[in-house]
Amino acid sequence: MDCKFRTQLGLVTVDEDVIVKVAGYAALECYGIVGMASKRSTDGIVQLMGRENLGRGVRIQAMEDSVIVDLYIIVEYGISISAVASTIIDQVKYKIEHLTGVTVSRVNVSIEDIRV
């Protein structure tokens, strides 16, 4: 579903894939993240996704005037998970709102695995 919002100049439509990529790249820029995760529904195994498959670790739920972002990540061993999650939430929210103009109502971070 596309995200739409109105400005002084007219209606702006942002494709969901754009928001997914912005959220994925913003999350990967944060310290302590090894990568995005994809959980196969059949066996529950977590896979590490590269930069070319960011969409598998990001889910977007478009609301009327905002979006909810769900991130599934793999963190580095020895890093404070709460600090990493807090940084990711702030960074993803800022980048999406700054680069696309779409309001982010909530960012949910799920830590799927820890890698050494």
Query: CA dist 107 to 33, 77, 112, Å?
Result: 16, 23, 16
| Rounded distance between C-alpha atoms, residue 60 and residue 20, angstroms | 7
pTM of the model: 0.81
CA 51 remoteness from chain centre: 13
Cβ neighbours around 86 below 10 Å, total? 13
Say which DSSP state 82 is in: H
16-73 pLDDT, tens digit each: 888 999 998 999 899 988 888 875 444 455 555 555 566 678 899 988 778 999 999 8
